């Protein structure tokens, strides 16, 4: 009886079985979704220029086992920028590492847009609510 008939086969060593290729676009998608999981990171696009790039945007450089990422993000003004950038850096690196098995060498985070009031409340301002002068009709 042959090995195939008995159901037992010997597999070659893992290095001899083939290789896994992870495309740049896969890492970009994982990083973009991970960045959006961070509090205060917003998905944006320019209403004035529909051809402009939306945020978050990711640039990836891959080797067979390492990744370097640059993220361009938009955030709301409610948290310090350094705190948002640090949280994005940690969360994206951990998520990419966990889902792809790649060693993440660097994650550069560039905050390229700060939205003053993401809720659309026109009375809010950068330093809280501001007072509008009362208007009187003199006629």
**CATH number, domain containing residue 53:** 3.30.70.1350
- Please report whether residue 85 resides in a domain: yes
Residue 23: pLDDT band (50, 70, 90) is very high
Q: Give residue 13's pLDDT.
A: 82
Domain tally for the chain? 1
- Please report whether residue 12 resides in a domain: no
- Please report whether residue 125 resides in a domain: no
- Please report whether residue 1 resides in a domain: no
Averaged pLDDT for residues 21-41 = 95
Domain span at residue 65 reads 20-115
Q: Give residue 50's pLDDT.
A: 64
Q: What is the mean pLDDT of the chain?
A: 81
Residue 118: pLDDT band (50, 70, 90) is low
Q: Give residue 82's pLDDT.
A: 95
- Please report whether residue 11 resides in a domain: no
Angle, helix 24-36 to helix 81-100, in steps of 10 degrees: 140
Q: Give residue 89's pLDDT.
A: 98
Averaged pLDDT for residues 109-120 = 78
Q: Give residue 56's pLDDT.
A: 95
Averaged pLDDT for residues 83-88 = 97
Averaged pLDDT for residues 36-61 = 85
CA distance 34 to 44: 15
Residues ≥6 apart with Cβ < 8 Å to 87: 38, 39
- Please report whether residue 93 resides in a domain: yes
CA distance 117 to 77: 7
In this structure, is the dihedral angle defined by the CA atoms of residues 94, 99, 103 and 104, taken in order, positive or negative? negative
């Amino acid at each position: 009886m042959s090995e195939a008939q008995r159901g037992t086969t010997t597999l070659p060593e893992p290095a001899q079985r083939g290789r896994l290729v992870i495309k740049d676009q896969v890492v970009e998608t994982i990083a973009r979704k991970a960045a959006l999981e961070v509090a205060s990171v917003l998905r944006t696009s320019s209403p004035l220029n529909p051809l402009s790039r939306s945020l978050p945007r990711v640039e990836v450089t891959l080797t067979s086992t390492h990744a370097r990422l640059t993220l361009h993000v938009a955030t709301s003004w409610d948290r310090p920028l350094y705190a948002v950038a640090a949280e994005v850096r940690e969360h994206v690196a951990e998520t990419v590492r966990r889902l792809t098995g790649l060693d993440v060498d660097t994650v550069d985070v560039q905050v390229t847009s700060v939205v003053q009031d993401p809720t659309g409340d026109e009375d809010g301002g950068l330093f809280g609510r501001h007072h509008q002068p009362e208007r009187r009709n003199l006629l």
